[in-house]
Structure 1
């Protein structure tokens, strides 16, 4: 009996793998699937955005307020919240949970930081992807399939001047085009004049004259301004714009 069993086992064709291990082709397909899922996740960060309470409150306030401030400490998701909202307005892709401002048509938006480098390394990075790796552009909050064109800036390496973004579309509805431009406070108020915009995002606290000029750019459209920053300048003129007299008094006593 033992000999017969041994002969039977020896004569059984070898499959090249044990029953406990999948064939090489199955492993390859599985790894390829994981890679594709990761690519889709990285190229559509907006779909995965789930705000925590303060971010959600900030977004929802846009339904009735033209001007909003998200003031918090470092690494608490201020720029991420601003980038996610700007990507929604640019693309028209609002999630089911959205309760904030909605634009039904393509928009013209600005995003700005203190310097050209700061704008590149913060709002541009969050919206488009790593500035130093153009192959990874499309891994920011603006989905890769919505980025139609990027126009480079001149003075700062890796800095983008503007982005043309696909807005809406699907079915019988033809897609439109939104335009996002990047600015900096250091250029002065004169560089902020002339445009008619749907929104301006100040990532870091702007001087009052720059903030006022940015707000003016949105008057004709009934557009919005959002400000996201860590309060490093104390009770500045811009901060005071967003605080009631009672809040100022309480902060003074504290």
Structure 2
């Protein structure tokens, strides 16, 4: 009996250590899950541009119109989405040297078709179009998404209301982002006064001109991100200097 009692008493410290280890493991796993959640729902905080992306952003400090033209999968749309998220939220990182808006903004983001806009700019900004529960895992932080309005195509959005500012002495406000497509024609691009228009994929010249006009009253910006599939188009020519065009002419000659 004495031996049995001693064995039972000796087992208690071991059981206690096991319980504490289990609790510590659960807490550790919980912390890892929370860190992962914060990472997934605040992609903007982790964005660090590579050289060409950084040059594209910095050019916005002095240029209303910008073009990021590069090959596939080289971060053009990601750069556009990151910048749009900064302007929409007012959350500019310390390294930022580009355009800064000191008020909430009204922005558009557009692609060739409604589906193309959904699968590219919307996906980069909000997250997977097919998974509404995952909206907030794109460049716009989850805690900044106030509301969304559904579009016509499955998974597509018409617009998003985004919380702007609200940190320190900055009064909180709301920005509005609407999604557009070129296929609807120039008429659908008329009337609005905007702070910025993002063209993801090359637009027809009349659509680009109309989008730029929407920003005139605010002194706003336009950005164009695409892979050059249409050759030396009218829109591309808008961004080439006379010196660059002369150099290209000599090269082709």
TM norm. shorter chain > 0.5: yes
2:177 is paired with a residue whose SS is strand
* TM-score normalised per structure 1: 0.92
Deviations 1:4-45 (A, max 9, x none): xxxx999732524989x9711111111111010000001000
Distance in 1 (CA, whole Å) between partners of 2:62 and 2:47 is 22
2:94 is paired with a residue whose SS is coil
Distance in 2 (CA, whole Å) between partners of 1:77 and 1:140 is 14
5+ residue gaps, structure 2: 1-5
Q: Aligned residue for 1:127?
A: 125
Q: Aligned residue for 1:5?
A: none
Distance in 2 (CA, whole Å) between partners of 1:70 and 1:168 is 27
Distance in 2 (CA, whole Å) between partners of 1:39 and 1:227 is 31
Deviation at 1:249, TM superposition (A): 2.7
Matched, 1:38 2:30: no
Q: Which has the higher helix share?
A: 2
- How many residue pairs match? The answer is 246
Q: How does 1:25-174 map to 2 (within 5 A)?
A: 25-154=23-152, 156-171=153-168, 173-174=170-171
Deviation at 1:248, TM superposition (A): 1.8
* TM-score normalised per structure 2: 0.92
Distance in 1 (CA, whole Å) between partners of 2:235 and 2:149 is 31
RMSD, aligned α-carbons? 1.9
1:12 is paired with a residue whose SS is helix
Deviation at 1:179, TM superposition (A): 0.2
Deviation at 1:244, TM superposition (A): 1.1
Q: Aligned residue for 1:250?
A: 247
